[in-house]
Homo-oligomer: A and B are copies of this chain.
Amino acid sequence: MLQVWALDGIPEIAAGTDLVDTIAARVGDTLADGDILVVTSKIVSKAEGRFLTAADREEAITAETVRLVARRTAPGGHVTRIVENRLGIVSAAAGVDASNTPEGTVLLLPVDPDASARALARGLRDRLGVEVGVVISDTLGRAWREGQTDHAIGAAGIHVFEDLRGQTDAEGRPLVVTMPAVADEIAGAADLVKGKATRRPVAIVRGRGDLVGSLDLPGARSIVRPAERDMFRQGADEAYADGFAAGVASAQT
């Protein structure tokens, strides 16, 4: 049985808020070994003071962008940029967020979400004496599918993949290519209880204690597929345009 619930009563988080204090005060003695806390990246960013003035939104996106992956101008003129940010994550607007932030400001992603997750997991383990894992989640769009789901952008103290590559299926054949990204599934499960429009940014997932382990396990960065191994490292229109230009140049020489 998997149980997932959101913590009520998490107060507004400001720059400098100690999230270990805040969460420890709300969980009381309900946390148990093997629980996984899923924390919305937004409150981690707020605690880390990752605010910028809103006038800088497009600049902030540019600053957070390592590589433009795709770009589309909607009929109304609104430009959507899909970019790879400095964390390697491909998303719209580099994770620069203007919702649920004080008027006139935007929020950047945490500097290093895996490090943030590790600090939180270590702090909660020390404070409460329970071996918990931490996932830091963000809402991401997907290729090929409408809507968004929550994904793990930071993780500590958990196996982000359930590695079945040595195992066999029920017929005894090897499950060669199956590697469930359980940290993403956990982030998505937590989204089902957190809600977007309310202030319930922390959820607890209980029932997969087998995934919880050392704080030195690889973080969510290991879920990111490096661009050079990604068949979708560039939007179709952008790749076509690059190819077209190269084709013209090649024919002219």
A contacts, CB < 8 Å to B: 1-5, 70, 72, 82, 89-90, 98-103, 139, 142-151, 161-162, 164, 167-171, 173, 175, 178-182, 184-186, 188-189, 191-193, 196-199, 207-208, 222-225, 230-252
Please determine whether B188 and A232 come into contact, CB atoms closer than 8 angstroms: no
29 interchain pairs (CB within 8 A)?
A: A1-B193, A70-B231, A102-B171, A103-B171, A142-B143, A143-B231, A143-B232, A145-B225, A146-B161, A146-B225, A147-B161, A147-B184, A147-B223, A148-B179, A149-B188, A167-B196, A168-B197, A175-B197, A185-B188, A185-B191, A231-B236, A236-B236, A237-B239, A239-B240, A240-B243, A243-B245, A243-B246, A244-B247, A244-B250
Q: Report B-chain residues with C-beta under 8 Å of the C-beta of A101.
A: 171
Q: Report B-chain residues with C-beta under 8 Å of the C-beta of A246.
A: 240, 243-244, 247
- Bound form: Cα–Cα A205–B12 in Å: 30
- Bound form: Cα–Cα A224–B142 in Å: 11
Q: Which residue of B lies closest to A233 (CB)?
A: B236
Q: How near does chain B come to A243, taking the closest CB pair, in angstroms?
A: 3
Q: How near does chain B come to A64, taking the closest CB pair, in angstroms?
A: 16
Q: Report B-chain residues with C-beta under 8 Å of the C-beta of A233.
A: 236
Q: How near does chain B come to A225, taking the closest CB pair, in angstroms?
A: 5
Q: How near does chain B come to A35, taking the closest CB pair, in angstroms?
A: 14
Q: Which residue of B lies closest to A237 (CB)?
A: B231
Q: Which residue of B lies closest to A167 (CB)?
A: B197
Q: Report B-chain residues with C-beta under 8 Å of the C-beta of A231.
A: 70, 72, 82, 143, 235-237
Q: A99-B173, A232-B236, A244-B243 are in contact. Are A149 and B181 (CB under 8 A)?
A: yes
